[in-house]
Amino acid sequence: MSTVLLEEEMTDTPAAPARLLSAGPAAPGQEAAWEQFTKIPLPTRTDERWRFANVKDLDLSPYLQPQPVDETTREELLARSRGLEKAAGRMVFANDQLLSREVLSESLTRLGVVWLPLEQALVEYPDLLQQYFMREEAILGGQKFAALHASQVRTGMLLFVPRGIEIDLPVEAFHWLHGANSSCFPHTLIIAEERAKVTVVDYYESADTNAPGLACAVNDLWLGAGAQVTYVCAQNWSREALAFQINATVVGRDAQARSLFAQLGGRHVRSESVSHLRGPGGRSDMLALTVADNAQEVDARTFQIHEAPNTSSDLLYKNSLDDAARTIFSGLIRVDPGAQMTDAYQKVRNLLLSDDAEANSAPGLEIEADNVRCTHGATSGQIEQEELFYLMSRGISKRAAQKLIVNGFLQEVIERLDQPEIGARLAEMVQAKFAAHR
Amino acid sequence: MSSLKIQDLHVRIGEKEIIRGLTLEIPKGEVHAIMGPNGSGKSTLSKAIGGHPDYTITSGDVLLDGVSILGMEPDERARQGLFLAFQYPMEIPGVSNANFLRAALNSRQSEGEEIEAVDFYEHLYEEMDKLEMRREFTSRAVNEGFSGGEKKRNEILQMAMLKPKYAILDETDSGLDIDALKIVSAGVNAQRGPNIGCLVITHYQRLLDYIVPDVVHVMVDGRIVRNGPKELALELEEKGYDFIKDALAEPVSA
Ligand SMILES: Nc1ncnc2c1ncn2[C@@H]1O[C@H](COP(=O)(O)OP(=O)(O)O)[C@@H](O)[C@H]1O
Ligand SMILES: [Mg+2]
């Protein structure tokens, strides 16, 4: 494995980092986004797209602009960036600064694969960015946060896979949030041309699992005809973090997108995911698993938009809630007038481990074509007493039995990924969360 | 002292008394059978001994090697050496058999220790071979989509892996064809010995041709109404439960 570390000079940490709200745009090109951010008001309780959400949590005033990390921290975070055993490439960022970029295979570059930190891509491939960077508007209520992201984004990952190229191993990126009240703006842009195939895993981590902080991420996936993209985002921010995540997936003709959002960390997490089924025969699998405890709030909004005929979408979101955790699922399916033979599916399951936990589900349909199949359903339940007794009758403690059952519950989502190594890594992260509980 | 002793046990489900003064002792090294018509309370007895929270024990005691287990949670009872083979084993979606069995074995390790993976699989495969179970079974979810016979084999496999001091097998023969019955019985017989006491619950005498008991108890309406040698099972098969019910008005104790 060849390792390319960026030998950039580390600047000394400035005395006082600026507050985000008074900082202005990150660079001159981002002024318009900043202006938009300041113009759009914070969501209120009466906004339908923020229904059920605790909007009082959204105050951005405590947070600071991201600061570069020192050398010791850098070494520490690199050592902690443990991903898959085998990856095609790995970028590690901390506070929106690229710490390392490890490439397994140079041959991919020769085949035309572009894999660059965003700021470098902006210089070398301005046309690609012009064409794809945040081109789908945030439409599920997060416009203000999308604008904030656009005004603050400094780096991230661009992955362009040209037609017919398949990358066998997953490409990974770590995004670390470091320092109390720090912020970061992770960005992932995947463009897969015709028949290209790739898997990408993002890991969102906090250096200190108790530090307050703000994360505002955007991940966009563009799939050309027949492309296959699997995208996994393992969100494990600190338990005091406020986090936003806005995803757009654009699926071309006969292409297959599969995304999985694992929501483990964060105090208040807002996730918006939109699949545009734009080319006939396209398919999008939208998966998510949430393990929420204490007073965590995980708010997921989804949109399956069938713009072309013969498209399919299949959503499976599973939430496990303990203590006084809250989850929100609000998912819409829309079938445009011309999108005949659409097959849209949506399934949400909530497993409540505590009487104080609260799971809200609000599905919705907007169907303008007549020859379609749309199914949706959301259910909430508790652990079956008989299952618990069965496991306990084998000597397994009540707590261990509950964990086994919750793991089993989430396993369905992990299995849908059909990638055992990534699945095992996710299961490990879930385990770690259980182990740290209370 | 080395016995599973049930003393004048009374068990309720809700307001209804199901076990109504039942006394029984299974010394270590012996196999006892309980036969009884449907609804007589056989499953209730086994689950109450296992500590199921829906079953209220209103009086009496259950002693495992002289120690009362009634104050213990179900998991602690199991770790003390009790095992229940369920009449209707639960399906646990998403939890693989291997993970389940490892968790069960790890629960018997001292704090922070775990069983060695290599040893575990070696042991597991050995026991699976005895029960003619295929390897792919280890990665399947516990009992999910299993046939009746597979579920029962799985119960016996768990028993073999966990090596209990006392095992209660609740209608392990139900839902088995003759070949499966032979395999499962052989699995149980292989575990017989001086270090285990077994209580085999069955509705039919057939099972007792394969797992030959030392003592047979007949249970009707939540009580033991007769005790006898293995031949009692044959008599019962011949004459039916009604005969016993009619002939015996008074309960007896073992
Ligand atoms: N969960 C339950 N709730 C209410 N009644 C029950 C329950 N389980 C069993 N019973 C009743 O208890 C009696 C004994 O049942 P059970 O122990 O299953 O008998 P057996 O195993 O001998 O067939 C029956 O009358 C049955 O209806
Ligand atoms: Mg029964």
Q: Is A54 exposed, middle or buried (0-12, 13-18, 19+ CB in 10 A)?
A: middle
CA-proximal residue: ligand 1, atom 7 (nearest): B13
Q: Is residue A16 over pLDDT 60?
A: yes
- Tell me the mean pLDDT in the region A284-305: 98
pLDDT tens digits along B75-111: 999 999 999 999 999 999 999 999 999 999 999 999 8
How many CA within 13 A on the CB side of residue B176?
26
Q: Is residue A438 over pLDDT 80?
A: no
B141 contacts in A (CB within 8 Å)?
408, 411
Residue A412 lies in a domain: no
Among A384, A385, A392, the residue with its CB nearest the CB of B75 is A392
Residue A310 lies in a domain: yes
Among B94, B107, B158, the residue with its CB nearest the CB of A411 is B94
B78 → chain A, closest CA residue: A395
Q: Is residue A98 over pLDDT 90?
A: yes
Ligand 1 close to Cβ of residue B50 (< 6 A): no
**How many interchain CB pairs under 8 A, A with B?**
84
Ligand 1 close to Cβ of residue B42 (< 6 A): yes
pLDDT band at A5, cuts 50/70/90?
Answer: very low
Residue A437 lies in a domain: no
pLDDT tens digits along A235-276: 999 999 999 999 999 999 999 999 999 999 999 999 999 999
User: Mean of the per-residue pLDDT values for chain A?
Assistant: 94
CA distance, residue A421 to nearest chain B CA (Å)? 15
Contact check, Cβ <8 Å, B107/A396: yes
Q: What are the sequence ranges of the domains in chain B?
A: 19-49+60-89+165-181+189-254, 91-145
Residue A370 lies in a domain: yes
Q: Nearest ligand to the C-alpha of residue B174? A: 2
Residue A430 at interface with chain B, using a CB cutoff of 8 Å: no
Distance, in Å, from the CA atom of B53 to the CA atom of B31, rounded to the nearest integer, reads: 27
Which region, left, alpha or beta, applies to residue B17 given φ > 0 means left and ψ of -120 to 50 means alpha? beta
Measured in degrees and rounded to the nearest 5, phi and psi for residue A274 equal -120, 130
DSSP state string for A200-260? EEEEEEESSTT--EEEEEEEEEEE-TT-EEEEEEEEE--TTEEEEEEEEEEE-TT-EEEEE
From the CA of B72, how far away is ligand 1's center (Å)?
A: 23
- The structure tokens listed for B8 are 């004048």
Closest ligand 1 atom to B222 CA: 14
Distance, in Å, from the CA atom of A181 to the CA atom of B89, rounded to the nearest integer, reads: 51
The alpha-helical segments, DSSP class H, found in A133-185 are: 143-152
pLDDT tens digits along B193-221: 999 999 999 988 899 999 999 999 999 99
B157 contacts in A (CB within 8 Å)?
none
Closest ligand 1 atom to B36 CA: 22
Q: Nearest ligand to the C-alpha of residue B54? A: 1
pLDDT tens digits along A119-172: 999 999 999 999 999 999 999 999 999 999 999 999 999 999 999 999 999 999
CB atoms within 10 A of CB A343: 16
A431 contacts in B (CB within 8 Å)?
none
Closest ligand 1 atom to B45 CA: 17
pLDDT band at B252, cuts 50/70/90?
Answer: low
Distance, in Å, from the CA atom of A168 to the CA atom of A197, rounded to the nearest integer, reads: 8
Within 345-404 of A, beta carbons closer than 8 Å to B belong to: 384-387, 389-398, 400-401, 404
Instruction: Judge: domain B19-49+60-89+165-181+189-254, CATH 3.40.50.300.
Output: yes
Q: What is the ipTM, given to two decimal places?
A: 0.96
- Report how many domains make up chain A: 1
CA distance, residue A437 to nearest chain B CA (Å)? 17
DSSP state string for A1-54? -EEE---PPPPPPPSSPPBHHHH--SSGGGHHHHHHHHHSPPP-TT-GGGTT--
From the CA of B44, how far away is ligand 1's center (Å)?
A: 6
Q: Nearest ligand to the C-alpha of residue A386? A: 1
For A353, the domain range is: 28-383
Among A397, A398, A404, the residue with its CB nearest the CB of B95 is A404
Residue A399 lies in a domain: no
User: Cβ distance A85 to A71 under 8 Å?
Assistant: no
Q: Which residue has the tokens 């292409």?
A: A255
Among A389, A394, A409, the residue with its CB nearest the CB of B104 is A394
pLDDT band at B248, cuts 50/70/90?
Answer: low
Pick from A168, A234, A240: nearest CA to A211 = A240
Q: Which stretch of DSSP H or E encloses residue B121?
A: helix B117-130
A409 contacts in B (CB within 8 Å)?
93-94
pLDDT band at A4, cuts 50/70/90?
Answer: very low
